[in-house]
Chain A
Amino acid sequence: MRPFAYVRVTGADEAQRALATQPHAAFLAGGTTLIDLMKIGCATPATLIDIGALPLAQIETRSDGTLRIGALAKMNDVADDEHVRAAAPAIARALALSASPQVRNMATIGGNVMQRTRCVYFRDVTQACNKRRNGEGCTAIGGDDRQMAIFGASPRCICVHPSDLAVALLTADATIHLLGPHGRRTLSFDGFHRLPGEDPERDTILGRDELIEAISFVPTALTRNSAYLKVRDRNSFAFALVSVAAGLDVRHGVIRAARLALGGVAAKPWRAHAAEAALIGKPASRATYLAAAQAELAAAKPQRLNAFKTTLARNAMVRALALVGGAA
């Protein structure tokens, strides 16, 4: 690891002052991504601003029913929280299926959605990577692309986003709360991550001087009836080949509202809009789920070695929908 300076801050204003005054500074929360990337030379901040002591770890239900999860809440604490488990099983399950117990004790909610890709070429500084430095080229294109995207890839980058939580949050119409030097802003979480396009270096729309304060959502019949299904090469402590978060509001056997999102298929958590449209107003049946999955996958563009992801995503979508909608 290259040498760096370290400062621990106790307030958000202090954190931002430190960021403004220190060149090449980065925020340190749980460290499970950042320290790892610094060890392998993928991240080289000159100063780490440790925000771990900021009072942003609460999980609380507001008077209007909104469930608000502080950015520094640990993954395990959110996964175990009884309110989260009841309000959005997909979110609790996505977290419980992430990483290892040790990592979940360290890693935070804000850090989780800020994870960098696990693309092996991104993590190997001897290989060209446009996400590390745009313009270098992409070794994954034409390389070992088994893990790569089937949606939303660009000629510059074909990687996938590793977060399970981010996929589940799309079923809850979550909001992300950001704090910048000029005040707060809230955004739909659906718009937080971005596709690589011409600029793969940027994973999110977070400003360089902004801090994530919290993620919130309003529990509904749909979020309470949600599930997360994760398919991976080994059954624990692995990133998803394909994952599915599904939430349905079914009344009298008819789907009234649907949220469906995929992980492991794109550089951002992938909201399955086409599938959702194919579910609304239809009977909650296996035939409906299959038609919806196929509607979404019509636009899939697999790489050389990962056509299996299309089949896997189809089957996983059907299974996840059957978990929450029944399988008549």
Chain B
Amino acid sequence: MPSGKLSRRRFLVASALPAVAFGIGLRPQLLVARQIVAVTVAPRGPRPVAVALTVNGQRRALTIEPRVTLLDALRERLGLTGTKKGCDQGQCGACTVLVDGRRVNSCLTLAIAVEGKAVTTIEGLAHEGTLHPVQQAFIDQDAFQCGYCTPGQICSAVGLLNEKRPLDADSVREQMSGNICRCGAYPHIVAAVRAAGGAG
């Protein structure tokens, strides 16, 4: 992880920039004092910094501001536009991806905060040309209309199956409640999730 190995030069850059950006006087004593106490805790940014992500098994090097969300990093920097931006505030689930196998809202996740973790997006679910069982189930059950929420629905369903939750229809509905479908394809989505989990 880059944060663990700070060269002196990088530390100076990293510690000086926030001071400039936030109008704090750059008194030399302060800078010296910070070097002494904060060698291991130098902040990065707010200007673009090197961030290494692991997405769908591949290591991807980026230069981004700390404020870039995982969602924006995936879509705007890595060209992985399968992950969708819906509400951008954690309420619709269109941006759902898996981090270390657990479903999360990528719009509420900072890209810089998932360094060292394994990110899986909709693009990473198929294996050697074969769709993931959840993807296949969504096709078999006709579980979408416009398709905009579908990548998030599918990633959420993969997470749900990883969590070993009960797969009766009520439980699936509750456990998929973080994913909104404005076409109202819910009955078929529930059927697809149950089928993929072997309960259909």
Chain B nearest CB from A79 CB (Å) reads: 11
A100 an interface residue at 8 Å Cβ cutoff?
yes
In the complex where A101-B103, A103-B178 touch, is A23 in contact with B24 (Cβ < 8 A)?
yes
Q: Is A14 an interface residue (CB 8 A)?
A: yes
Do B174 and A3 have beta carbons less than 8 Å apart?
no
- Does B174 lie within 8 Å of A236, measured CB to CB? yes
Asked if B177 and A35 sit within 8 Å, CB to CB, the answer is no
Known contacts A23-B22, A237-B178: A3-B45 contact under CB 8 Å? yes
Q: How far is the CB of A299 from chain B (nearest CB, A)?
A: 34
Residue of B44, B113, B175 near A101 (CB, 8 A) is B175
Q: Which residues of B contact A305 (CB under 8 A)?
A: none
Q: CB < 8 Å: which of B17, B47, B159, B174 contacts A105?
A: B159
| Bound Cα distance from A105 to B98, whole angstroms | 10
CA distance A140 to B109 in the complex (A): 30
Q: Is B93 an interface residue (CB 8 A)?
A: yes
Instruction: Please state if A4 and B90 are interface contacts (CB–CB under 8 Å).
Output: no
CA distance A106 to B70 in the complex (A): 13
CB distance from A12 to the nearest CB of B (A): 12
Interface hits, A256-304 → B, CB 8 Å: none
With a cutoff of 8 Å between Cβ atoms, the chain B residues found around residue A254 in the complex are none
Whether A5 pairs with B156 at a CB distance below 8 angstroms is: no
Question: Does any Cβ of A come within 8 Å of B110's Cβ?
Answer: yes
B78 on the A face (CB < 8 A): no
Which residues on the A side are within 8 Å of B119 (C-beta)?
none
Task: With both chains docked as a complex, state the minimum distance between the C-beta of A114 and any C-beta of chain B, in angstroms.
Answer: 15
Measured between beta carbons, the chain A residues less than 8 angstroms from B89 are 36, 39-40
Assess whether B61 is interfacial by the CB under 8 Å rule: no
- Interface size band for B: 35 or more
- How many Å lie between the Cα of A100 and that of B153 in the bound state? 13
Q: Is A7 at the interface (CB under 8 A from chain B)?
A: yes
Q: Which residues of A contact B103 (CB under 8 A)?
A: 101-102, 105
B43 near A5 with CB under 8 A, answer yes
Q: Check A102 against B178 for contact (C-beta < 8 Å).
A: yes
- Report yes or no: B18 in contact with A101, Cβ–Cβ below 8 A: no
Per the bound structure, the CA–CA distance linking A297 and B102 in Å amounts to 42
Select the stretch in B33-41, B52-60, B139-147, B191-199 that faces chain A.
Answer: B33-41
Q: Does A307 contact B (CB under 8 A)?
A: no
Contact B113 A31 (CB under 8 A): yes
Q: Which residues of A contact B38 (CB under 8 A)?
A: 17-18, 21
Chain B residues lying within 8 Å of A3, measured Cβ to Cβ, are: 21, 45-47, 65-67
Contacts of A47 in B (CB 8 A): 18, 43
**CA of A60 to CA of B96 in the docked complex: distance in angstroms?**
30
Closest Cβ neighbor of B72 among chain A residues? A1
Determine whether B160 belongs to the interface, using a CB cutoff of 8 Å to chain A.
yes
Query: Do A2 and B67 touch (CB < 8 A)?
Result: yes
Interface assignment of B122: CB less than 8 Å from any CB of chain A? no
Given contacts A21-B34, A39-B89, contact A32 B108 (CB under 8 A): yes
**Residues in chain A near residue B42, CB distance under 8 A:** 7
Out of A36, A38, A46, A76, name the residue touching B90 (CB < 8 Å).
A36
- Chain A residue with Cβ nearest B41: A18
Q: Is B83 an interface residue (CB 8 A)?
A: no
Determine if A72 is an interface residue (Cβ-Cβ < 8 Å): no
B135 at the interface (CB under 8 A from A): no
**A86 vs chain B, min Cβ distance (A):** 18
* Sample of 9 more A-B contacts, CB < 8 Å, known A5-B43, A38-B67: A4-B66, A5-B17, A5-B21, A6-B66, A21-B38, A35-B109, A102-B96, A103-B90, A106-B108
7 contacts between A and B (CB under 8 A): A7-B43, A18-B43, A31-B108, A39-B88, A39-B89, A46-B21, A101-B178
What are the nearest 6 A-B pairs in CB distance? A100-B178, A3-B46, A6-B66, A5-B43, A236-B177, A7-B43
